[in-house]
Every structure is written in structure tokens, then in C-alpha cells.
Amino acid sequence: MKLGFWGFITIVSPPIPPPRHSSSFFVFSVKGLYNVQPKMQNEEGQITELYIPRKCSATNRLITAKDHASVQINIGHLDENGVYNGHFSTFALCGFIRAQGDADSALDRLWQKKKVEVKQQ
């Protein structure tokens, strides 16, 4: 502690180290040093993460828990006769896109891209 300008006590704390920006870490084993990317999967490839946040399909933003204006829409796939075949594509739109009034055009743009992938007419 040291005495401040007007006689007040100011507490001097040690400097905070800068954050590490590396997303990988090194593991040393008997065979040598390996660069390992952290994964949330076990050895069988199953996802072990309990919470996977949704992302907006149009803006790629995270949809937070407080975004009560966000929606998730399933669009069904049809066969050549126009009958629903049991498959669907899911799109999530955040409240930001909906508040701007761009949800309709964003959903249309996303479906036009997806339609080519699923060979929909």
C-alpha cells in the first residue's frame, strides 16, 4: 500500500499477465512432443459436451440464452411427387436479423443454397 495524492490509501496490485491466445497445447509422451488440439469428443468420436450453443444460420453469431426473439425453423424436404419424405433442414435465425426485417430474405438465401445440396426442385 502507498499513500495517494489527497491522503487516501491506494492499493497497488501486481500486473495481470496477458491472456494466452493459443488454442492448442503440447503433450509430452514417451514417443515425443505432440501438438494436440483440444476436442470435446471421446475416443469413439461421440460428442461429450453437455451444451452446444446454437449459431445463427445467416450471420453465424452465437444465439445467447437471453435472445428471446430467435427462432429455429425446420423446412421439410419433398420427393419428386411433392410429398414429404421425412427429412428436413434446420435453420436458426437470431433476433438481430429478425429485428432488422431481414429474416425473410436471409431464410430465402439459405434455402436456395441448401436446395442445391438436397436436390430439391
The overall average pLDDT reported for the chain is: 77
What is the tens place of the pLDDT at every residue in 56-103? 999 999 999 999 999 999 999 988 898 999 999 999 999 999 999 999
Contact 9, 3 (CB under 8 A): yes
Tell me, what's the pLDDT at 30?
46
Amino acid at 39: K
Burial of 12 (0-12, 13-18, 19+ CB in 10 A): exposed
pLDDT band at 22 (very low <50, low <70, confident <90, very high): very low
Q: Which three cell numbers stand for residue 53?
A: 450453443
Tell how many helices (H) and how many strands (E) occur in the chain: 2, 6
What CATH number was assigned to the domain covering residues 51-117? 3.30.1230.20
Tell me, what's the pLDDT at 94?
96
Per domain, the residue ranges of the chain are 51-117
Tell me, what's the pLDDT at 11?
52
State the pTM of this model. 0.59
pLDDT band at 27 (very low <50, low <70, confident <90, very high): very low
Tell me, what's the pLDDT at 18?
56
What is the 8-class DSSP label of residue 104? H
